[in-house]
Amino acid sequence: MWYLALKAALSGILIAVISEVAKRYPGIGALIASLPLISVLGMMWLWHDRPDPQNMAAHAEATFWFVLPSLPMFLLIPLLLRQGVGFWSALIAGCVLTLSLYAAMTLVAPRFGLRL
């Protein structure tokens, strides 16, 4: 139970630090947020819990392929905001786009031999 609490606390602290830095320095906050810190932490926790090279390799590769459909969200949200769309509507639209692209990736990936 303590291990789970530690993982949650460290992950939460990372998100809090990013949001605090972004208040003053949006570019630096974006840089930190764009780093694969959450993925790296996740891989560290996974390796600690299950040190299996094959499982880790599959996880890292699937993470790469799932990052790709999330990227258009970061173009859609600023586009909508600059056109006067409210933040929450832009965020929801970005999330819907991302979920749609995730679904498409899940359906299309096996056709190209990708195991996600």
| SS3 letters across 18-76 | HHHHHHHCHHHHHHHHHCCHHHHHHHHHHHHHCCCHHHHHHHHHHHHHHHHHHCCHHHH
pTM to 2 decimal places: 0.80
Residue 22 scores a pLDDT above 90: yes
Q: What is the pLDDT of residue 38?
A: 82
At 26-49, the pLDDT tens digits run: 999 999 888 888 889 889 999 999
Please tell me whether residue 102 adopts helix, strand or coil conformation.
helix
Q: How many CA atoms lie within 13 A of 75 on its CB side?
A: 6
The token duo for 112 is 């190209």
Is the pLDDT assigned to residue 107 strictly greater than 90? yes
| Interval 47-93: pLDDT, tens | 999 999 999 999 999 999 999 999 999 999 999 999 999 999 999 99
pLDDT of 16 higher than 90: yes
Instruction: Kindly list the domain boundaries of the chain, sorted by start residue.
Output: 1-51, 53-116
